[in-house]
Chains A and B, each alone.
Chain A
Amino acid sequence: MTPMTLTEKILAQHAGRDAVGPGDNIWVDVDVLMTHDVCGPGTIGVFKQHFGKDAKVWDREKVVIVPDHYIFTADKMANRNVDVLREFVREQDLPYYYDVGTDKYKGVCHIALPEEGHTRPGEVLFGTDSHTCTAGAFGEFATGIGNTDAGFILGTGKLWVKVPPTMRFVFHGQLPPYLMAKDLILAVIGDIGCDGATYRAMEFDGDGVYALNIEERMTLCNMVIEAGGKNGVIAPDKVTLDYVNARNKHGKAYTPVHTDPGAKFIYEKVYDVTKLQPVVAKPHSPDNRAAVGDVSGTKLDRAYIGSCTGGKLTDFRAAARILKDKTVKIDTFVVPATSEVAAGLKSEKIGSQTLEEVFLSAGAKVGPPSCAACLGGPSDTFGRLNQPLSCISTTNRNFPGRMGHKEARVYLASPLTVAASAVRGAITDPREYLE
């Protein structure tokens, strides 16, 4: 049989076929559909319009709803949208809903999904959010879709996909202490461009990848969409399985899938991580890469540490390594992705201080878990750039207007680089603050 990549194999299995190849159009069975407050109301509208107002979803065990985008705002429409989700969950009796204002509230969906045991190797996950690709870190096929596709899945449990060819990125070597997964993925996006993986899968491989913890692997897969990728994927290993098994409280069976020897890749690139530098993506595109050394000293007004790609415990641990016993020179916003990460900030310590105490005593502001200013949002959103400021951020997009004001300038960087830059008030290489 023709050897297949991990992505091809998962898609073939979910289409009930022995084999598929790039370019094939197939209908796949969906394991999990995720939606949130921004796209949920539209998805529900599509579902009701086409399947009837009394229709039931195809499988209530497979629908996950995570309000996360516009949460801590007085905006009436935003709050109305969460009410639409609530009403739908009640009427459909959906078990996996993480409501605002309850102790089930989580925060950013892409981190909530694995924490709550909704990501498993070998599965097919669709979500109404482009960063659904984050879950590829668990060895599954995960990608973003719109309301119409999601409404279709709600009624049928199926969706057509075109099988993407796979690009392979191999990382070798031990990651130096001043680099993070964010530097690796910004290097890749800088190399291939923000359309370099359009219609393609991106598979990450090599000892440099398997040495990363699960959160860092999520950072890699999170940003494949910034290169136009359909999905990112990392083969499951012990690190994956340990995490998944510890969280799989619903006890769902799953089958890990690996790329066959001899599978064909459309592109292959090998990196030696010991030779890479801390990098930023300059305004206004994630592929506008520069070595931190080349832009060091660029004046900043603000720093932001948060989001699905840069607001995990690993990210805050890294930032705290630099901010411990220092003071930030510019407004610095800290936004944990989820309530679990927020709890970690209060419990995990460096020396005698919790991570949260490190941030507060450095002069940073700590907000409640949500997407917050990562995508701008209503004008009262925590950390939103309401003026044309320069901001360095651990988030994933810096298109014009993304974090608020359309003339704001956003630099994307690792939590280490963002923290070092916050201390100096200008773009700074983290090596200057790391022994």
Chain B
Amino acid sequence: MQTTITGKAYVLGDNIDTDQIIPAQYLTFNPSIPEEYKQFGKYALSSVPPSQAGLPKGHVPFHTDDEFVSPYKIVVAGKNFGCGSSREHAPIALDAAGIEAVVAEFYARIFYRNSVNGGYLIPLECVERLCERVCTGDELRLDVAAHTMHNLTTGERYELKPLGEVAPILEAGGIFPFARKSGMLG
């Protein structure tokens, strides 16, 4: 797990569900095949209604239509991020698009688990609502161990919640390396 992440913010609102993160029609790609894994990056966040895409202004594309990777590295969102289906394709799509961390008020349970257990990205929770403080395009620096985020564009600093019990799983890189380390797997 990276302990500091620096990159541009892409800001979204509340209740971003898994259909918005990766629409069902692209679920036919098999994430276990590396060329197909990349495809998820191309369609990541493609069902977010344009007015809600890239707040506060909206209508900011996550990437251009033919790009597989987005110029943004950190998603900042509101409440209940990743609600809806159990599709692991959702954190996979964000990972494939180059997102290294999400900072949201809180997560839907399965998305959170999938992010942690698959080791795709770091799901962090903010203390105060940041999706109305941070603007899409702001340069952010996350310090995971100190659970703080620095907005290099505005100079603001924000407190985040500690990762708690999932930290060792994320540090190991997911549930498999974690279970191996703790002696559960041979």
Give chain A's interface residues, CB within 8 Å of chain B: 25, 27, 38-39, 41-42, 44-46, 48-50, 69-70, 75, 77-78, 80-81, 84, 127-130, 132, 144-149, 152, 155-156, 158, 160, 162, 194-195, 198-199, 228, 230, 285, 375-379, 397, 399-402, 406-407
Contact = CB atoms under 8 A, between A and B. Distances in A.
28 contacts: A27-B184, A45-B33, A49-B32, A77-B28, A77-B29, A129-B85, A130-B85, A144-B86, A145-B114, A146-B88, A146-B117, A147-B88, A148-B176, A156-B185, A195-B108, A198-B106, A198-B107, A199-B109, A228-B80, A285-B15, A375-B24, A376-B24, A377-B24, A399-B15, A400-B47, A401-B24, A406-B47, A407-B49
Interface residues of B, number: 42
Contacts of A127: 86
B32 A41 contact: yes
Given A78-B28, A195-B106, 14 more contacts: A77-B28, A127-B86, A147-B88, A152-B117, A156-B184, A194-B80, A194-B83, A198-B80, A198-B107, A376-B19, A376-B25, A399-B15, A401-B19, A401-B47
A144 B112 CA distance: 12
Interface in B6-62: 15, 17, 19-20, 23-25, 27-33, 47-49
Contacts of A228: 80, 83, 108-109
A152 B79 contact: no
A111 to B, nearest CB: 17
B25 A379 contact: yes
B36 to A, nearest CB: 8
Given A38-B27, A42-B88, A146 B113 contact: yes
B5 interface: no
Q: Is the interface of B mostly helix, strand, loop or mixed?
A: loop
A14 to B, nearest CB: 16
Interface of B: 15, 17, 19-20, 23-25, 27-33, 47-49, 79-80, 83-89, 106-110, 113-114, 117-118, 165, 174-176, 179, 184-185
Contacts of B29: 77
A78 B165 CA distance: 37
A80 B106 CA distance: 36
Contacts of B33: 45
B42 to A, nearest CB: 14
